[in-house]
Structure 1
Amino acid sequence: MGLISLLWGIAAMLWMVVALIPLLGWGNWFLIPFAAIGAVIGAIGIAITRSENRGRAKAGLILNCIVIVVGIARLSLGGGVI
C-alpha cells in the first residue's frame, strides 16, 4: 500500500505541475479527487503496516496532501472555487 500511495503521489505531483500552466487550471478539478484517493491509500497503508515499514506510506500521504493543498490554492486564486 505504501508503494502504491507513493507512486500515486508522484503521478499527482507531475499532474499538478502541468495544471499550474495558465489555461490548464481546469485539471485541478480532476487532480484534487485523484490525490484524495492517493491520500486514503496512504492512510490505509500507515494503518496496516508495521511501524518500521511505514516510510513509503507516510511519504505518499504527505505528497498527496501537498498536491491537494496546492490544487485548492490554485483554484481559489483562479476563481475556480466559488
Structure 2
Amino acid sequence: MLNILSGLIGLLALLLMLPTIIPFLGWANWLIVPIALFGALVGVVSSRNGGRNFCLIVAALGIFRLFIGGGFI
C-alpha cells in the first residue's frame, strides 16, 4: 500500500513539474523536489522499491532542472 502511495506522490510531483519546463518557471522546482523526496521517504518504508525509485527519478529531474537553470530560471 505504501508503494502505491509513494508512486502517487511521485506522479503528483511529476505533473506539477511539467510547467517548470517553461523558462522562468524553474524556481517552482524548489517546491516540487521536496514533495518527490517525501514520496521517496514513504517508499523507503514500503517492502517494494518501485515507488521509491520513481520518486527518486522525479527528484533527480527536478534537481537537474534547477542545476541547468542556475537555481531560479
Q: Which amino acid aligns with 2:64?
A: A
Partner of 1:25: 26
Cα-Cα RMSD: 1.4
Quote the Cα distance in structure 2 between the aligned partners of 1:60 and 1:16.
17
Partner of 2:69: 78
* Overall identity of the aligned pairs, in %: 41
Quote the Cα distance in structure 1 between the aligned partners of 2:4 and 2:55.
13
Contact 1:9 1:35 in 2 (8 A): yes
Structure 1 window deviating more from structure 2 (63-72 vs 13-22): it is 13-22
- How far off is 1:59 after superposition? 2.1
Contact 1:13 1:63 in 2 (8 A): no
**Structure 2 residue aligned with 1:67, among 58, 62, 69?**
58
- How far off is 1:71 after superposition? 0.9
The alignment's TM-score, normalised by the length of structure 2, stands at 0.86
The alignment's TM-score, normalised by the length of structure 1, stands at 0.77
Quote the Cα distance in structure 2 between the aligned partners of 1:22 and 1:4.
31
- Structure 2's unaligned 5+ residue stretches are none
Q: How many residues were matched structurally? A: 71
Quote the Cα distance in structure 2 between the aligned partners of 1:13 and 1:63.
10
